Amino acid sequence: MSLWTSAEIAAATGGSASADFAVSGVAFDSREVGPGDLFVALKGETTDGHRFVAQAFAQGAAGVLASDPVEGPHVRVADTARALDALGMASRARMVGHVIGVTGSVGKTSVKEALFAALDRGAPGSAHRSLKSYNNHVGVPLSLARMPAATRFGIFEMGMNHAGELAVLTRLVRPHVGIVTAVALAHGAFFADEGAIADAKAEIFEGLKPGGTAIIPYDSPHRERLIAAARPFASDIVTFGHDKAADVWARESISQAAGTLIVARLRDAELTFTLGQPGAHWVSNALAILAAVEAVGGDLPAAGVALAEMAGLAGRGRRLPIAFADGEALLIDEAYNANPASMRATLAVLGQEKATRRIAILGSMRELGPSEASEHAALAGPIAAANVDFALLVGSEMGPLAEALEGRTEFAHVADAAAAATRARALIGVGDAVLVKGSNSIGLARVVDALAGTA
């Protein structure tokens, strides 16, 4: 069955079709176009997708959404960005299942992926989610447009770095359930304080469908602020957290060799399962996931199995071996992004590892605003608490942390990811546990590639 026909695309976007065709997917990056896809020729500040139409067809595109004249099967529209929004909204309108929106300063991609695994495990082939971190003004409508009409559960990640952005995205997604995973100092350069970040995250509730559910972290200092923001839009507010006063909480949480044994108390059920991912932050993630599964009537036991099997994502907790002639070291790949809260959480995970030495390769945290220096310096405490034997600091913003570590922890400070990749291999030996984490713009993924032997 096709995802869209040319007639449906034209009706949704107000465009005109040059020919009859059908597509099985949607893409806006010509490098990702595959056989049967609709290529959306977006115009940006630095490039124009219309330049890559021939390449898209060469890679098997079945048709193109274009605003300029093109050769080959296409739907012509006035503005391809607005047309993509319209196609996403048409996809949302024809889908009669449940939709879950996910945002938060930390954990949103991990929660989105785990939610997909949990719901798909209970109803195989019926769940859909946004891929990668497609969570902005282009990625969200693209993810919606890719959703099959028969989807029972749609899970969409929404991100922001300025106030007002989530309000726009959530009105495209129109979720039945909106989740805020956590509120922390991310993109602090664009907000007056963390309370303003909480307000911006709470915009996700503005798009809730009538009768919708807001899922809120009970342990957050901004809990009451989030609840107040949700009340005008949500028929039900569910809190999750470690405190027994939360609606969904961990009655027991016991670390074991195979993972964390959790006894989760929900509103109408109790579930015992083993969480495969380590760390207190993942316990919190799991509780939010179970709250959402319960809210949409999903299969809770199947969700527990999925959480037990959940592997770390690339850049977000993936575990890789570093091979040596006489053994291995453990690499914890958290290179995708970083803020103070996620740094503390992953350093705590490193501290729990049984290892010959614990090595932290930490890149600068970007967009923190006026508190940048103090937030970097404050990582000295979590580094000490994790019994880190050596810290390799990457980027100029790490200067205050280097000063704070003097006389406390052995460390080195290098300028960039290239220097870190050169230095890192010589640091590590058999039996070590190595954490790599930093803001995505620092580029520590190249360090992960170098250490794992994929570069």
Domains of the chain: 4-79 (3.40.1390.10), 95-309 (3.40.1190.10), 318-452 (3.90.190.20)
pLDDT at 402: 97
The DSSP output letter for 367 is S
Distance CA 281, CA 11 (A): 45
pTM: 0.89
* CB-based burial, 147-177: b 16+ in 10 Å, e otherwise: bbeebbbbbbbbbbeeeebbbbbbebbbbbb
pLDDT at 455: 45
364 is in an annotated binding site: no
pLDDT at 454: 53
Residue 69: how many CB atoms within 10 A of its CB? 9
Task: Assess contact for 359 and 425: CB atoms under 8 A.
Answer: no
106 is in an annotated binding site: yes
Strands 433-437 and 37-40, sheet pairing:
unpaired
Determine the longest span between alpha carbons in the chain, in angstroms.
72
132 is in an annotated binding site: no
Distance CA 275, CA 451 (A): 27
For tokens 């020919």, what's the residue? Answer: 19
Angle at 348 between CA 387 and CA 101, to 5 degrees: 165
- Which tokens in the block code for residue 80? 């391809």
105 is in an annotated binding site: yes
Distance CA 60, CA 34 (A): 6
How far is residue 445 from each of residues 85, 148, 335, 454, measured CA to CA in Å? 32, 33, 6, 11
Task: Assess contact for 124 and 198: CB atoms under 8 A.
Answer: no
Of 108, 245, 114, 116, residue with least CA distance to 182: 108
Q: How is the beta sheet containing 390-394 ordered, strand by strand?
A: 318-324, 327-334, 433-437, 358-363, 390-394, 410-414
pLDDT at 188: 65
Identify the H or E element spanning 91: helix 80-94
Distance CA 66, CA 426 (A): 51
For the chain, report the end-to-end CA distance as a whole number of angstroms: 39
- Reading the chain (455 residues) residue by residue, the pLDDT tens digits are 799 999 999 999 999 999 999 999 999 999 999 999 999 999 988 889 999 999 999 999 999 999 999 999 999 999 999 999 999 999 999 999 999 999 999 889 999 999 999 999 999 999 999 988 788 999 999 999 999 999 999 999 999 888 999 999 999 999 999 999 999 876 667 788 999 999 999 999 999 999 999 999 999 999 999 999 999 999 999 999 999 999 999 999 998 767 899 999 999 999 999 999 988 999 999 999 999 999 999 999 999 999 999 888 888 899 999 999 999 999 999 998 899 999 999 999 999 999 999 999 999 999 888 899 999 999 999 999 999 999 999 999 999 999 999 999 999 999 999 999 999 988 999 999 999 999 999 999 999 999 998 54
Task: Enumerate residues 6+ apart whose C-beta is below 8 A from 193.
Answer: none
109 is in an annotated binding site: yes
pLDDT at 409: 95
Task: Assess contact for 182 and 107: CB atoms under 8 A.
Answer: yes
